[in-house]
Structure 1
Amino acid sequence: MNNALYNQIRIFQAIAQEGGITPAARKLEITPPSVSKALKLLERQVGLPLFLRSTRRVELTDAGRALLERTTDAVQSLQWAVESVRSSNVAPSGLVRVTMSRFAYQLILRPLMAEFCRLHPQVQLELSVYDGTIHILEEGFDLGIRFGNSLEEGVVARQLLAPFREGLYVSQAYVDRYGVPQQPEDLHRHVLIGYRFITANRILPL
C-alpha cells in the first residue's frame, strides 16, 4: 500500500465515522476540499461510488460498507505497528518484580545490579529472594530466575548461563583427616554439607 492510498483510506474512514466531509476534515485537521479530492481519487480507484451524498450528510453505499469493514482492522494494525516501533525508543521504566533463589541472586543478579540501575534509572526492581517453590505467574512476578529444565505452564524461558555441572568438593584438611572416598557408597560414611529444600523439607539427593 503506497502512502497516497493509505491516506485516502484514512480519510474515507473518517468520513464514514463522522458522517460527512466537513466533520471529517475537522477531525483530521485538513481542509474540506482536500477531503473531497481524496474521496474522489479513492472512488476512481475502486470504480464504484462509496457514499450516497445529500445536502445534509453522506451515507455509505454497499461498496462503501464493504470497504470500511475490510480496511478498519488493517489500518488499525498499521497504526499499532508504527506506535510500537516508536515506543521502542522510549527508555525502559516502571516496576519489575523478580523472584529467584539465594544462589541465583549471588551468582547472576548481584554482580549486575549496580550497572543495571545506572543504565536504567527509571526501572524499579522489586526482588524476592527465596529458596522455596513459587509459581511465577500466580504470585504476580514479571520474571523468575530458575535452575534446571522444568517450566511452569504459560511461561517462556531464556537461558542465562552456559550449562554447568554440580560436584562434590572437599578441603585438603578433610582429606588429611578422613581420606578420599573411592566409590559412591563411601559417601555414607563421610561428613557432608547438604542443601535442604525449604518447600519440600528434604535434603538435595546425591
Structure 2
Amino acid sequence: MNNVIYNQIRIFQSIAREGNISAAARKLEITPPSVSKALKLLEQHIGHPLFVRTTRRIELTEAGQQLLEQTAAAVDSLEKSLENIRDQNQEPSGLVRITLSRFAYLLILKPAMAAFCRQYPGIKLEVSVYDGTVNIIDDRFDLGIRFGDILEGGVVARQLMKPFREGLYASSAYLEAFGTPTTPAELHQHNLIGYRFITNNRILPLILDHKGEQLTVEMPGQLISNDIDVMADGIRNG
C-alpha cells in the first residue's frame, strides 16, 4: 500500500465515523474539498461507491461497510504502533555502542559515564575499549572516540576537546637516578618507554620540536607496550 492509498483510507474511515464530509474535515484538520477528492479517488481505485449520499447524511454501501470492517483494525494497529514509538522517543532508550581508545575512555568517558547512566536509565551502553583502528560502520558502532583527524568515508566527526600539547616526560625518581637531559643528543643515554600501535604493529616514533624544526630521536628502550596502563606503571616505577 502506498502513502496515497493509506491516506485515502484514513479519510474514508473518518467520514464513516463522523457521519459526513464536513465533520471528517474538521477532525482531520483539512478542507472539505480535500476530503471529497480523496474519497472520490479511493472509489475510483476500488471501482465501487463507498457511500450512499442523501440530503442529510451519507451512509455506507455494502462495499463501504466491507472496506471499513477489513481496514479498521489494521489502520488502528498501525497508528497505535506509531504512537508507542513516538512515546518511547520522548525518553531516550535503546542500545548505544561506543568504541574508544583506553586513553579516551580514561580522559573523556570515565568521568561522565556514571552520571550519564543515572540520567538516562533507558539507554544501554556497550563500551568497547580498543587502541587499534576500528571501522565504525562495518563493526556497527554508533559512536567512536579517537585522537587525530583521519576518518573513514561516510563518518561525521565532532571535536570533543581542544588540542593539547604532547611532550616527553620523566618521573622525579627517574631524573634523580639518571639525571636530566638538557639537549636532544643526551637522550641517547636515557631509557624510553615505547608504545607499539596495535593495528600496524609500528612503534610510535619520538618526534621533538627542536628550535622550530621536527627532530626524530632514536632512544634505547627496555620496555615496549601497546597499553597505556603498562606504560604508566613503568613510569611510576622509575
Relative to the length of structure 1, the TM-score reads: 0.64
Q: In 2, Cα distance between the equivalents of 1:155 and 1:97? A: 15
**1:181 correspondence with 2:143:** no
CA pair 170-40 structure 1, distance change in 2 beyond 3 A: closer
Q: Give the deviation of 1:175 after TM superposition.
A: 2.1
Deviation at 1:51, TM superposition (A): 5.6
Could you tell me how far 1:115 is from its partner in structure 2?
Answer: 0.3
Distance in structure 2 (CA, Å) of the matches to 1:193 and 1:157: 31
For the pair 1:25 / 2:25, whether they are aligned, the reply is no
8 Å Cα contact 2:92-2:123 kept in structure 1 = yes
Post-superposition shift, 1:190?
1.1
SS where residue 194 of structure 1 aligns? strand
For residues 6 and 89 of structure 2, the distance between their equivalents in structure 1, rounded to whole angstroms, comes to 33
Segments of structure 1 that go 5 or more residues without pairing to the other structure are 1-12, 44-49, 59-82
CA gap of 1:36–1:127, structure 2 versus 1, over 3 A, is closer
- Residues 173-193 of structure 1, C-alpha deviation per residue, up to 9 Å, x if partnerless? 322332222233332331011
Q: Determine the structure 2 residue equivalent to 1:76.
A: none
Identical pairs, percent: 54
TM-score, normalising length from structure 2? 0.56
In the alignment, the residues of structure 2 paired with residue 98 and residue 106 of structure 1 have an alpha-carbon distance, to the nearest angstrom, of: 14
Q: Which residue of 2 aligns with 1:137?
A: 137
In structure 2, relative to structure 1, the CA distance for the partners of 1:40 and 1:198 (3 Å cut) is closer
Cα pair 1:99 1:127 within 8 Å, conserved? yes
Q: Are 2:127 and 1:127 equivalent residues in the alignment?
A: yes
**In structure 2, C-alpha distance between the alignment counterparts of 1:112 and 1:127, rounded to whole Å:** 13
1-side partners of 2:190 and 2:6: how far apart? 84
- State the shift of 1:23 in Å: 5.1
- Which residue of the partner structure matches residue 39 of structure 1? 32
Give the drift of 1:40.
4.5
Query: Is the contact between residue 21 and residue 35 of structure 2 (CA under 8 Å) also seen in structure 1?
Result: no
Is the radius of gyration larger for structure 1 or structure 2?
2
Per the TM alignment, residue 134 of structure 1 is displaced from its structure 2 partner at its CA by: 0.8
Q: Give the gaps of 5 or more residues in structure 2.
A: 52-82, 207-238
* Cα deviation code 1:22-47 (max 9, x no counterpart): 65513xx433141589434899xxxx
User: Deviation above 6 Å: which 4+ runs of structure 1?
Assistant: 13-16, 52-55, 86-89
Contact 1:97 1:141 in 2 (8 A): yes
Kindly indicate whether the alpha-carbon contact (under 8 Å) linking 1:15 and 1:24 is maintained by their aligned counterparts in 2. Answer: no
**Cα pair 2:99 2:144 within 8 Å, conserved:** yes
What's the counterpart of residue 155 of structure 1?
Answer: 155
What pairs up with 1:55-94 in 2 under 5 angstroms?
56=49, 90-94=90-94
- Give the number of aligned pairs: 160
CA distance in structure 1 between the partners assigned to 2:202 and 2:6 by the alignment: 70
Question: How far off is 1:133 after superposition?
Answer: 0.9
Deviation at 1:200, TM superposition (A): 1.3
Query: Closer, same or farther in 2 for the Cα pair 1:192/1:139, shift >3 Å?
Result: same
Distance in 2 (alpha carbons) for counterparts of 1:104 and 1:192: 23
